[in-house]
Chain A
């Protein structure tokens, strides 16, 4: 040991009196073997861990496609009450992929948010914005009521009481000029002033700091730019 410390200044193994040292050798064969064996093990472990991890996490990053779905003719919808429409949001899993949309015609007297090509009809999602139970529209009270924890929304889907953190989600709507049918597109969330946000899950507020604490996700459907 004393020899090794004395000669430890040199980076050459030959200068450190190592048996069998080669000319110009700086890494001992023992050290090289350690690094090579551990490195090979790490590569082998990564070879199955990383693909498996990517496989499990992949759905977070793959954007869901969507279809415009016809829900009726313009004459089917009035300004004063909602029609209940069943639409499919996930294909291929039967009834578990269906959800309910409440659709009515836009009423300029009460709908104060700016009008554009996607909200001539107001289509509200039945997903309660507290924790995701299905709300139902009670026509007599002109309110949406959630059965789980007592969330209440007014006729426009704004929170009227209970624990929900934002108004009911909406779907983009349009008139298909070829078929003459009203169609529903992807879902979007709104804040308490009905400004549009990319769809957030229930329980995630989008007012104030909430829009930054609960950022937009990679996998939600986007409406095509046109």
Chain B
């Protein structure tokens, strides 16, 4: 069985060679438990070659001087994962029924279901956290100039993700179906309608008709939990691929290393 190449671990984490005279039973310094784990990983890796991809993704070179501002993208990603996980479990209780079932199911989640209020609050406050984080991430990329060549496509995908995140906020706001969500959605759809020429038809598409109707709520629900999340997951994958492929940009204040010899040489 082929042995995995050693990942570039720091010295303290690397396995120590056995002291003279205390040779391990299986000969290569691993306990039987570690040996079993290595066997499983080897079995998977022989069939998938995943280890190379994981090493490509996780053990990258980063420029000197990176700081906490560089974690905002990951923070946004974790906010998205929080929304996805809590949203899946909220969907187990939610009913998109405009005649009163939607409001009642939200009331049940909040008042009766075990941990329902907590999970709903995670989703509700997590939505605001994600909006804040995505704007901070955008500001970091903008002010550090990290959108420049060759990372323009990362920026474009990021802007699309921003728009989709805002659309998630808009469609999710209707789902509790109380007075605030109903009237906020009326106002929001009418703002869409003020776009010239296509605005009136866009409003009709969002409402599924000329008035807020029987299927408007389920339409918003489907957009909120199926259409946009799928798009966002795909685009986040592309975004992360580009981050890994291109590497992250150095902070703008970072000087390049010692001046190369050739620059100082007189011609």
Contact = CB atoms under 8 A, between A and B. Distances in A.
Interface of A: 56-57, 59-60, 62, 64, 89-94, 96-97, 131-134, 148, 199-204, 213-215, 217-221
B232 interface: no
Interface stretch (B8-16, B111-119, B123-131, B185-193): B185-193
Chain A interface, DSSP helix/strand/loop, else mixed = loop
5 contacts: A93-B214, A97-B211, A213-B196, A214-B197, A215-B197
Contact of B193 (A94, A134, A202): A202
Contacts, number: 93
Contacts of A220: 210
Nearest to B101: A94
Interface of B: 98-100, 177, 182-183, 186-187, 189-191, 193-194, 196-197, 199-201, 203-205, 207-215
B103 to A, nearest CB: 10
Nearest to A149: B187
Contact of A201 (B100, B183, B203, B214): B203
A60 B210 CA distance: 8
Contact of B182 (A57, A96, A199): A96
A57 B208 CA distance: 8
Q: Which of B99, B183, B186, B197 has the most CB of A within 10 A?
A: B186
A203 B205 CA distance: 17
B96 to A, nearest CB: 12
A123 B76 CA distance: 51
B211 A64 contact: yes
B214 to A, nearest CB: 5
A215 B200 contact: yes
A92 B99 contact: yes
B200 A93 contact: no
Given A213-B197, A217-B204, A89 B211 contact: yes
Contacts of A64: 209-211
Nearest to B182: A96
Nearest to A210: B196
Given A133-B183, A203-B190, A219 B98 contact: no
Contacts of A131: 186-187, 190-191
A133 B191 CA distance: 12
Given A64-B211, A201-B203, A217-B204, A132 B187 contact: yes
